[in-house]
Structure 1
């Protein structure tokens, strides 16, 4: 009986540890990007890409928090878990999206190809809004900024945008 209780305790602890790690995807990506964005020894363009990631995750966090504290809706435990999973998924796919963009842009050998790559990624981000946020000044702050290579909308369904980009890059 004692061995069974110990085994169940270890199983429960491992499940809780896995759940805690899964819930921290967005936090881990945020911390990593923030560290790079604030490191003055890093290349300025690397820091700018990291700044975009920080702001995109902050935006996703704020939208998730707004949904969680919305008193007009009664959220179940399942709804809350879904919102947290969506936050982590979007943060992860945004991270992959920016990394793929950086890789493809760096690999482009001619200016014309660089412009094509930028257009593919910009269009995909603007064509797949996640929240349909009416605050265009906020969500398009990078999209309308030529100072940053990551000219993407913050209000993006990163899964759909990444799928579109991969399809277009394969053509």
Structure 2
């Protein structure tokens, strides 16, 4: 396995490498702990030159809003600028979650499961399954053979009992 030097990781952190080289370094990070340590040292060394977030909470809110948009398809084109600081409440995001069609909601899936269970119960499908289960249960009880471990333990206990009897007879 080829390891990369600390200087190469510094170039990576400073973005002084070609994209193909950057991809190689990135994929190498997944498999090499030694190079990951070099990378972390390079990041710490250049920490002051890396960009910082001015408002971390706003960034988190924007990311969470994008996740909600990806999860819940919006019928309108959303052209508002997300870089503005939104101080309004999140009731619009809650109404987006309620706009999902009925068949995509959890209640629909529960009702579907209940209907399928009732249908199978009244059609007798579960009753026939119980008959098959009874057949398999009776076969497994009849054909039960002791396992190897049980056999070894039984022989060991029998041997120990015979040793105890011999000791009792000697006394």
- TM bin (shorter chain): under 0.3
**Does 1 or 2 have the higher relative contact order (CA < 8 Å, sep 6+)?**
1
Structure whose CA Rg is larger: 2
